[in-house]
Structure formats: C-alpha cells, structure tokens
Structure 1
Amino acid sequence: MPIIDVHAHVGRWQFHLTAGDAESNLRQMDRYGIDLQFVSASEAVVYDAVGGNAALGKVLAQQPRLYGYAVVNPNRPEESAADLRRCLDTGRFVGAKIHTHYPGQLPGTRAMAEAFDVVAEAGVPLLLHTWGEEVTLLPELLASRPGLRVIMGHAGGDAWREAAHAAASCDRLYLEHCRTATDAGRIAYAREAGVPVERLLFGTDATLIDPCVALGVVRDAGFSAEELEAVLWGNAVGLFGLPAAPSPDLPRL
C-alpha cells in the first residue's frame, strides 16, 4: 500500500539527534515503505524562514521523493508572502508551514491572522503546528478565509479532544496525529466527534520522531482496509492535488 507522509522535516535540530540531512529521511522512508514525504526545513522553522526555505529548495531539486512546505514567519508577513511565491514557483513546494511556539505567535494574535491571509492568498494547504486549547479558534479563522485548508499538525497535541471538535465543526480542518506521546483512543475520539476519515492524514514528524510511532498509532486505530488506504495516501492525494497514487515513476505536482 502506498504511503504519503505529510509532516516531516529536513535538517538538524537543537535536540540530541543524529539525523540531519535528506539521506536520513530517505533511509527511514525506505525502511518503512514511505513513498513520498512532505518536509519543512528545521532551519526555517526555528531560525531563518527565508534562508531555510532556500536551502531546502536546493535539496528538493535533488530528491524527487521529497516535496516542501515553505515556512511562513508570522512576525514577517510581507517577507514571507514574497518568499512563499518564490518557493511555489519552483514546483517543488506543495504548501506552507507555520509553527506557533518558535515565532511566539498563537492563533488569536493579529500576526497569526496576517500569516493565515498570506497562505490563503497563495491557495495552498497549510500545515500548522498545533499544541494547546487555542485550536478552538481555528474554525473562526477559517470561516473568514473560505479557500484556506489547514492540517492540524499533532492534532492539537495535549488538546487533542478540543482539536477533534474543532475539526468536526469545520470541513477545511484536517487532523494529523503524529506525537511522541501516543495517547490511546485519539483517532477513535475524533471519529466519534464527527471528523470523517476523509480528513485524517498520515504524518510522522520525521526525523524528530521515528516513523514507526505514527505507523503504530494509525494501524492500531481500527480502520478498515479501505479507510487505511485513504489515511495513508488517498486523502493526501486529494488535498494536495496529486495526479495519482505514488508509483515507481513518482507523481509530479
């Protein structure tokens, strides 16, 4: 069965990790049968969005199994808007990524609203780092931005219940459940809250977290074979406009 990982990273982190280059990603992908991986640059997330995005672009040009998220810095919306356009013009970036804690801007702030406007204007999916009860503000933020589609990275983190209800109330919110703490029942709770399988995506947080964690969570969620296929790749194909399932030839966006 094909697998598309919609939440991963390339680069070194400030944590005690040995992984750092794209080869680390590819080794993990080969080990676990992941066909395509959508990545942001760790440098762009924690330090320099424009510089990190540019460095990632060079990596993507050499790695057809990796596609990029251009990191948008909520503190510099105009700079990020121009940079996002540059990244998307390369054809190697599929969407935008916004972290909340590193730039110090949570949903509900003016800066985050402006960053959402930047992504909405670009017309691409947004992978948003979510961790905390501020996820309850997302349906309202999307209501005023009709074209924006948001993947809730980590599915709210410790606020996964609140994230589930937020996603159930807005058909442009998607849940992606990668996290170091594998709280039992998170996916079942989301489904009971009313989140359809079509808005559940597979992500790993590689190379920060070994993909086996996310694979275990998804495979333990009680999906039927058809549902598992949708979560592991079909839903990503629809959201990102891939022409078909991953194949030996690899789809071009």
Structure 2
Amino acid sequence: MEDQMIFDLHMHIEESTALGWQMSAADCIRAMDEAGVERSAVMTLTDLPGLNPQGLELIAEACEQYRDRLYGFLRLNPAHLETSKQLLKQAVTELGFKGLKLHPVSTLQHPGGVATIDLVRLAGELGVPTLFHCGDEPLSTPLSIAQAAAACPDATIILGHMGGYFHVDEALDVAERFPNIILETSAMPYPDKIRTAVARVGAERVVFGSDGPVSSPNLEKQKVVISGLGEEAAGLVLGGNAEKLLGLAA
C-alpha cells in the first residue's frame, strides 16, 4: 500500500478548551504526514451557529492555505434551521465546501426531526454528503439516523464511527437496508468489522476516517490495513471512495 492515496474523511480543526482538544491547520497537516495521509475532510469540533462564530471562516482559511490537501465540511445545528441553511449554501456554493457534518448529541437534534431532514435534503440538493456522528449515545444510533436516510433517499449519508463500540452490527443492518448510507471507520475498534462491512455492503460504501485529534490518524489507518481487505478493496476504502464521493476523482 506504499503507493496508495489515502484520504481521511473525518478530521477536526479548532481549539476547544471545553472539550479538551486542539488542532490547528498546521497540526492537522503534521498528523496527516505522520500517517501518510494525502488528503482530509476537515470540520470544526463545535457546531455553528454556536460557541465559535468564526467556525466557517476557520475551515475556509485552512482549506485555502492547504489547497488540494484539506476539504471543508460545515458542522451545523439544525435547531437554527434558517441560519444553518444559509451558512450551508454559502459554504458549498461560494467557498467550495464538500460536505455537511451533524452531531445529534451536541445539538440535541434527532436525526429524524423535521429540521434535520430539511438540512440533509438541502445538502443532497447541493450535491454534498452529510456526515453524522453515529455511536452509542441516544440520538446518534444507526437506527435513529436511518430515519434521515429513509426520508432523504437522494441524499448521501455517512455514518461516522459506523455505530461506535456497541452498535456496529446495527450500522451494518441499516446500511444493507438503505443504499444511500456509507460507513466510516473512525473510532470503531474492531478491524474485522471493516472486513464484514465490505463483504455485506460492498467496498464502494466504506470509507476511512480518523476523527483526529480525538483519535490518531496513524492508529486508525492501521485498523484498515490489518482488517484483511484485498488490495483493490483497501484502495477504495482508504482513498478511492472519498475522492469519488467529494467529486475529486480524475
């Protein structure tokens, strides 16, 4: 895999003392280089509109500074629906952002709620995917996010962490039911489940992510490397799928 282009679909740039995590754009690039990652999707650690009113500008400036390496996802709170819709339109159409990030736990917005569905539909209309935090907490389980997938069949939905520690099998079941769902590997601790995901839904619907700085890109990459995928499938999971998903493939 020495020549494999690796794309991390889930990294953060922001200084959040409340959460205890900090990563500047330069820190992000350094972590990518150490892990052999060429490109990353980056987003804030907090939601807009919210604690960091400069979150949009922060990500836009990072992507401009490291063009062809960093690609922006806008993390939004559906509770502020009209403002969030305006920000998403601006981010995608004016600033070249490549996706929407939603974290139901931090926003306390159910994935099946009217506001969330409205925002996911808008992302689909704009041609960008929605990355959900998908784990073990209430509001974030795969079955909860499946409601958004069912309501927005034309939108691409990525299950970040593919169910976390205890809901991975549920994430696999949901992905089999809804073809618009993609599974993302970050902070999910079982390499064999990556292999199972490829077997059940196809290598084209599994993508590598690290959740840096919350998790280590180097460590998270090794989960995919040791999961026992063949060379072709590993190439798709580690980078090929993300490039195609974000419209960057040649």
Q: Is TM-score (shorter-chain normalized) higher than 0.5?
A: yes
> How far apart, CA to CA, are the structure 2 residues paired with 1:43 and 1:145?
25
Please name the residue that 1:124 is paired with: 128
Please name the residue that 1:251 is paired with: none
Shift in CA distance, 49/127, structure 1 to aligned 2, threshold 3 Å = farther
Please name the residue that 2:91 is paired with: 87
> How far apart, CA to CA, are the structure 1 residues paired with 2:209 and 2:49?
20
| Equivalent position to 1:27, from 12, 27, 30 | 30
Q: CA deviation at 1:220?
A: 1.4
Measured against aligned partners, the alpha-carbon deviations of 1:201-251 in whole angstroms (never above 9, x if no partner) come to: 01011122111221121011101111111111111122111133xxxxxxx
Q: CA deviation at 1:131?
A: 1.5
Judge which range, 225-234 or 89-98, deviates more.
Answer: 89-98
| Equivalent position to 2:115, from 98, 111, 115 | 111
| Equivalent position to 2:7, from 4, 15, 21 | 4
Paired residue secondary structure (1:38): strand
2:161 is the counterpart of 1:161:
no
Paired residue secondary structure (2:141): helix
> How far apart, CA to CA, are the structure 2 residues paired with 1:183 and 1:231?
15
Please name the residue that 1:231 is paired with: 237
Gaps spanning 5+ residues in structure 2: where?
Answer: none
Specify the code of the residue in structure 1 equivalent to 2:40. Answer: Q
Q: Is the 8 A contact 1:4 1:37 kept in 2?
A: yes
Q: Is the 8 A contact 2:46 2:75 kept in 1?
A: no
> How far apart, CA to CA, are the structure 2 residues paired with 1:34 and 1:191?
21
Judge which range, 183-192 or 233-242, deviates more.
Answer: 183-192
Shift in CA distance, 50/195, structure 1 to aligned 2, threshold 3 Å = farther
> How far apart, CA to CA, are the structure 2 residues paired with 1:105 and 1:43?
14
2:196 is the counterpart of 1:189:
yes
Please name the residue that 2:210 is paired with: 204
Please name the residue that 1:63 is paired with: 66
Gaps spanning 5+ residues in structure 1: where?
Answer: 245-253
> How far apart, CA to CA, are the structure 1 residues paired with 2:49 and 2:134?
15
Please name the residue that 1:134 is paired with: 141
Shift in CA distance, 76/114, structure 1 to aligned 2, threshold 3 Å = same
| Equivalent position to 2:249, from 240, 243, 247 | 243
Q: Is the 8 A contact 1:5 1:38 kept in 2?
A: yes
TM-score by length of 2: 0.88
Paired residue secondary structure (1:148): coil
Identity of aligned residues (%): 28
Judge which range, 210-219 or 181-190, deviates more.
Answer: 181-190
Judge which range, 34-43 or 131-140, deviates more.
Answer: 131-140
> How far apart, CA to CA, are the structure 1 residues paired with 2:148 and 2:55?
27
> How far apart, CA to CA, are the structure 2 residues paired with 1:49 and 1:86?
17
| Equivalent position to 2:152, from 145, 159, 177 | 145
Q: CA deviation at 1:137?
A: 4.0
Shift in CA distance, 93/49, structure 1 to aligned 2, threshold 3 Å = farther
Specify the code of the residue in structure 2 equivalent to 1:175. Answer: L
2:100 is the counterpart of 1:96:
yes
Q: Is the 8 A contact 1:9 1:40 kept in 2?
A: yes
Q: Is the 8 A contact 2:195 2:229 kept in 1?
A: no
Shift in CA distance, 187/21, structure 1 to aligned 2, threshold 3 Å = same
Please name the residue that 1:73 is paired with: 77
> How far apart, CA to CA, are the structure 1 residues paired with 2:23 and 2:150?
38
Please name the residue that 1:247 is paired with: none
Q: RMSD of aligned C-alpha atoms?
A: 2.1
Moved over 6 A (4+): none
Paired residue secondary structure (1:185): helix
Paired residue secondary structure (1:5): strand
Q: Is the 8 A contact 1:45 1:102 kept in 2?
A: no
Please name the residue that 1:38 is paired with: 41
Specify the code of the residue in structure 2 equivalent to 1:178. Answer: S
Q: Is the 8 A contact 1:60 1:92 kept in 2?
A: no
